[in-house]
């Protein structure tokens, strides 16, 4: 792993700092140490820029948050990982995640840190050369990159990158699964507000009666059950960006209040007596035809034009088929980084993938590749692993050797859901099938399910599965 850029470890706990230094040096990194943020800035002045800064959050003199803010101004290319032993910083954790800065809760394993560093060193994009076709922009260098070589979409992204530097409200339109939320995050990260909060609200997922207090907040006693003041999403996004996902699903009564936020830059809490000023950037997304909603009287015309200061239309995947090989390789690399055995994608399989219609767009392609990677069992991914015209998966060839457990894991059938089945049963079946597909490896299964190993262990105990080591078969 030689040839890595220099790393600066910032921590007032000397034992922790020395342990990290030794671990990273063994991996081929050049590592310097600093006891706090002020000393870290002196290292930048005396020794030049660092590729990585791994810093504790709570330190004397200058804490990790202040250091991060300063580094984003003086050395924007430096990648920062925050770490802390304190569990009482949920807002900081959320801000880190939304701002494309990684966050580790102490204690963490050396392997967890190595994964973050190796992820950051991988080329943005998924072509064989590691480079995107065409001219790559900031959108391809994000932690969650937007991958495209399509000339039409590239032109759109260039315009978006320019508009992101302004304060203009943006309306992103596109089919489900095209990456609207990813584009919204790109707008935030390419803006002067990049290191301020990014708050996403799915207007379709929150019941109508709950969306108003969720967005605007409420005062104590505003209604039955309001035992204390709640700060709404608009206030949480102050100085940053708020994403109103699926804005077309917002009820008319709330649309009037949203219009006031856009016009006056202030919010009225439920039960409040005075407006609260806010300074934020609004990005809205929709998979609906907004003009039709306006014509049908389901969406305010004045709000529509307030939101549509800069409209962006994301093309569906079937109109950018040249990106399918690029995206496919990227998703397979992601699976491999999660510890899932992934074989080569054969030319025949790639041709079939490129010919698909994908009504679910990029999300559908990602889900499909996850399924076929599990079905292939680490071998080459061929046409026989892809679904037929009826959407059903073909059975993979019988393995030539290996245990019945390994053969069962390689098949990993698509999970059926039956009418009347309880949520508990669906969750149980999903967890057990995922564990089976990982050959009983609990760490790998937990990563796929996006839950902790402890949660997985508790669930399996609930289902009566015998105990096993975290990384062992179960």
Tell me: cis bond preceding 189? Omega within 30 of 0 counts. no
Q: Report CA 157 to chain centroid distance, whole Å.
A: 19
- Give residue-wise pLDDT tens across range 395-453: 334 433 343 334 333 334 445 556 566 677 777 888 888 888 877 888 888 878 878 77
Task: State whether residue 248 is helix, strand or coil.
Answer: helix
pLDDT of amino acid 404: 31
SS3 state of residue 276: strand
Which residues, listed in sequence order, are joined to residue 8 by a DSSP beta bridge? 32, 53
Residues making up the chain, counted from first to last: 474
Name which of 378, 367, 448 is nearest 406 in CA terms: 378
Find the distance separating the first CA and the last CA of the chain, reported in whole Å: 33
pLDDT score recorded for residue 277: 93
The pLDDT value recorded for residue 318 is: 92
Please list the ranges in the chain whose pLDDT falls under 50: 1-3, 87-100, 121-136, 389-414, 469-474
β-pair type (310-313, 170-173): parallel
Query: Cα dist. 319→62, 174, 279, 315 in Å?
Result: 50, 12, 37, 6
d(CA 244, CA 187): 13
User: What does the pLDDT read at residue 156?
Assistant: 87
Contact assessment for residue 126 and residue 335, using Cβ atoms and an 8 Å cutoff: no
CA-nearest of 79, 88, 99, 81 to 20 is 81
What is d(CA 161, CA 152) in angstroms, rounded to the nearest whole number? 15
| Cα dihedral 250→256→259→263 (10° resolution) | -160
CA-based Rg of the chain, rounded to a whole angstrom?
Answer: 24
Q: What is the pLDDT of residue 421?
A: 61
Which string of b and e fits 125-157 if b means at least 16 CB within 10 Å? bbeeeeebbeebbbbbbebebbbbbbeebbebb
Q: How far apart are CA 198 and CA 215, in angstroms?
A: 14
H or E segment and range at residue 129: none
Task: Give residue-wise pLDDT tens across range 223-280.
Answer: 777 778 888 999 999 999 999 999 999 999 899 999 999 999 999 888 888 899 999 9
């Amino acid at each position: 792993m030689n040839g890595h850029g220099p790393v600066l470890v910032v921590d007032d706990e000397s034992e922790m700092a020395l342990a990290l230094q030794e671990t990273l040096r063994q991996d081929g990194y050049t590592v310097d140490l600093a006891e706090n943020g002020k000393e870290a800035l002196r290292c930048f002045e005396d020794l030049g820029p660092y590729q990585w800064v791994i810093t504790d959050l709570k330190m004397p003199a200058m804490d990790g948050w202040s250091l991060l803010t300063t580094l984003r101004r003086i050395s924007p290319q430096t990648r920062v990982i925050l770490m802390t032993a304190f569990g009482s910083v949920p807002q900081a954790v959320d801000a880190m995640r939304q701002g494309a800065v990684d966050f580790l809760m102490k204690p963490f394993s050396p392997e967890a840190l190595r994964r973050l560093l190796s992820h950051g060193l991988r080329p943005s994009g998924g072509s064989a050369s590691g480079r995107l076709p065409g001219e790559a922009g900031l959108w391809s260098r994000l932690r969650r990159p937007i991958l495209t070589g399509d000339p039409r979409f590239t032109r759109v992204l260039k315009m978006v990158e320019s508009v992101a530097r302004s304060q203009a409200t943006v309306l992103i339109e596109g089919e489900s699964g095209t990456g609207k939320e990813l584009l919204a995050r790109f707008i935030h990260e390419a803006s002067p507000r990049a290191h301020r909060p990014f708050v996403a609200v799915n207007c379709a997922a929150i019941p109508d009666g709950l969306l108003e207090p969720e967005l605007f907040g409420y005062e104590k006693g505003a209604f039955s059950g309001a035992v204390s003041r709640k700060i709404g999403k608009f206030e949480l996004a102050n100085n940053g960006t708020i994403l109103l996902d699926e804005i077309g699903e917002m009820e008319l009564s709330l649309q009037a209040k949203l219009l006031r936020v856009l016009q006056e830059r202030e919010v009225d809490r439920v039960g409040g007596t005075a407006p609260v000023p806010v300074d934020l950037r609004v990005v809205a997304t929709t998979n609906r035809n907004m003009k039709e909603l306006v014509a049908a009287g389901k969406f305010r015309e004045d709000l529509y034009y307030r939101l549509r200061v800069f409209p962006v239309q994301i093309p569906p995947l079937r109109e950018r088929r040249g990106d399918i090989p690029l995206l496919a390789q990227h998703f397979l690399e992601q699976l491999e980084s999660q510890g899932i055995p992934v074989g080569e994608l054969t030319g025949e399989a790639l041709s079939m993938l490129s010919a698909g219609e994908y009504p679910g767009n990029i999300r559908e392609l990602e889900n499909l590749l996850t399924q076929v990677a599990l079905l292939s069992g680490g071998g080459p991914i061929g046409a026989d692993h892809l679904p037929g015209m009826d959407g059903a998966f073909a059975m993979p060839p019988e393995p030539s050797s290996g245990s019945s457990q390994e053969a069962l894991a390689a098949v990993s059938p698509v999970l059926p859901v039956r009418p009347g089945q309880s949520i508990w049963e669906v969750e149980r079946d999903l967890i057990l099938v995922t564990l089976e597909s990982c050959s009983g490896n609990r760490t790998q299964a937990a990563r796929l399910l996006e839950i902790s190993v402890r949660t997985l262990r508790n669930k399996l105990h609930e289902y009566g599965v015998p105990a096993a080591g975290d990384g062992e078969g179960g």
